[in-house]
Amino acid sequence: MAFLVKKYGGTSVGTVERIQHVAKSLKEAHDAGDKLVVVVSAMSGETNKLVSMAREVQPAVVDVRELDVLLSTGEQVTIALLSMALKELGVDACSYTGAQVKILTDDSHSKARIVSIDTKRIEADLDQGRIVVVAGFQGVDEQGDITTLGRGGSDTSAVALAAALKCDECQIFTDVDGVYTTDPRVESRARRLDRITFEEMLEMASLGSKVLQIRAVEFAGKYNVPLRVLSSFKPGNGTLITYDDEENSMEQALVSGIAFNRDEAQITVTGVADTPGTAFAILGPISELNVEVDMIIQNIGANDTTDFTFTVHRDEYQRVMDFLTSRQEQLGAASITGNDRIAKVSIVGVGMRSHAGIASRMFKSLSESSINMRLITTSEIKISVVIDEKYLELGVRALHEEFGLAESEVVA
């Protein structure tokens, strides 16, 4: 008997059969007494189909207001079909678009932010014993125009609804059965975590983004909505994401997981003036190119000059290199060098806050595998190093072993 928001992504509702499968599990939970609000995405493939039609019509720049009108039809199809499937099983259900339950957002089409949700109709339906099915990813602005929340928006819709309705838990159903200590494709002994903290989940971005959207995690953290990641295809309790509290910290490991990212490229600008404004002179124009910068490292300089290194997505590498090279003189840089065959490996864990020596264990472990670290950055609960891409799997496995994350059972 719990009050839950359950969110099903595109793959989980990708066909009529899968929608019927979801309806069946919802009926079971409903029969067991759970109060349920369900958030769904567009059937997998639908959004891409719609986007490609839009691109065909407007090859250069797509009008975002109209794109939102177009894309929001994807979830609208799913809410109708899922409500029908529930009724077919004898469960009373009612569907709502974002506009109908007034998921009020700002007017930033295609990346709108939720301002408020009117829960009156939802609560009235729940009181009638209905399952309420809400379209994820979409809202409506003050003017009544349809908006969408951008990538991963359905996760955000689910968390926002759980927060507004004060639900016990927001459950995100995906095609994986939880958050793992690392990617099981790289380390077969990776273990599913029963719990993880919001902070750790955020720092595991590169791992976690395959599971749920970082923005939804932030949102859940902000409103303290317990978030659970589960598989829509196999049973299990998934991974619960909550704040770290005494109760859970008993079994708190030092390191919760090993995240990694092989899509990075590193660029170093050497011999620039070690004065205020240099970092901005380099990164300002790059962010204007709409390139996202991940790691930024600047070490102590010598002779009034310093070296400045940052990483970008590998796809942007050449563009950024060309851009900086064309401005080398202007920047007064001695050289501009780069490497697009690197990978980032991170250890993440709230446990490391109170335990010294985690970093040195990490570096020792990598050096014992003869892996050279090119860059190092740290945050309170995360240590990241950049290594040659070819050593990625070796490094992840070494660290997984070092911090005792493996379980005896082999995960396929």
Q: Residues interacting with a second copy, by CB under 8 A? A: 16, 19-20, 50, 53-54, 56-58, 62-63, 65-67, 69-70, 72-73, 76-77, 79-81, 83-85, 87-88, 94-95, 97, 99-100, 144-146
Query: 332 near 273, Cβ under 8 Å?
Result: yes
Choose between 61 and 250: whose C-beta lies nearer to a second copy.
61
Choose between 46 and 244: whose C-beta lies nearer to a second copy.
46
Q: CB 409 → a second copy: shortest distance, Å?
A: 39
Choose between 145 and 263: whose C-beta lies nearer to a second copy.
145
Question: What tokens does 307 get?
Answer: 């070296």
Cα gap 18→89, rounded to integer Å: 14
Cα gap 71→157, rounded to integer Å: 15
Choose between 62 and 279: whose C-beta lies nearer to a second copy.
62
Q: Give the three-class secondary structure for 101.
A: coil
Choose between 124 and 410: whose C-beta lies nearer to a second copy.
124
Cα gap 327→338, rounded to integer Å: 15
Q: Each residue of 47-78: b (16+ CB within 10 Å) or e?
A: beebeeebeeeeeeeeebeebbebbbbbbbeb
Query: 350 near 256, Cβ under 8 Å?
Result: yes
Comparing CA positions, the residue from 113, 118, 112 lying closest to residue 97 is 118
Choose between 19 and 272: whose C-beta lies nearer to a second copy.
19
Choose between 72 and 306: whose C-beta lies nearer to a second copy.
72
Choose between 57 and 289: whose C-beta lies nearer to a second copy.
57
Cα gap 98→113, rounded to integer Å: 13
Q: CB 111 → a second copy: shortest distance, Å?
A: 17
Choose between 133 and 295: whose C-beta lies nearer to a second copy.
133
Which residues have a Cβ under 8 Å from the Cβ of 276 and sit 6 or more positions away?
Answer: none
Comparing CA positions, the residue from 272, 266, 267 lying closest to residue 334 is 272
Choose between 60 and 412: whose C-beta lies nearer to a second copy.
60
When computed from its CA atoms, the radius of gyration of the chain, rounded to whole angstroms, is 24
Q: CB 119 → a second copy: shortest distance, Å?
A: 14
Cα gap 256→364, rounded to integer Å: 19
Report the greatest alpha carbon distance in the chain. 77
Q: CB 333 → a second copy: shortest distance, Å?
A: 41
64 phi and psi, to 5 degrees?
-70, -30
195, amino acid identity: R
Q: CB 85 → a second copy: shortest distance, Å?
A: 5
Q: CB 253 → a second copy: shortest distance, Å?
A: 45
Q: CB 73 → a second copy: shortest distance, Å?
A: 4
Q: CB 367 → a second copy: shortest distance, Å?
A: 56
∠ at Cα 327 (324, 328), nearest 5°? 85
Query: 216 near 155, Cβ under 8 Å?
Result: yes
Q: CB 92 → a second copy: shortest distance, Å?
A: 10
Choose between 58 and 224: whose C-beta lies nearer to a second copy.
58
Residue 54 has, within 13 A of its CA and on its CB side, a CA count of 18
Q: CB 394 → a second copy: shortest distance, Å?
A: 48
Cα gap 228→216, rounded to integer Å: 12
245 phi and psi, to 5 degrees?
-130, 165
Q: CB 335 → a second copy: shortest distance, Å?
A: 44
Query: 160 near 121, Cβ under 8 Å?
Result: no
Comparing CA positions, the residue from 226, 174, 231 lying closest to residue 4 is 226
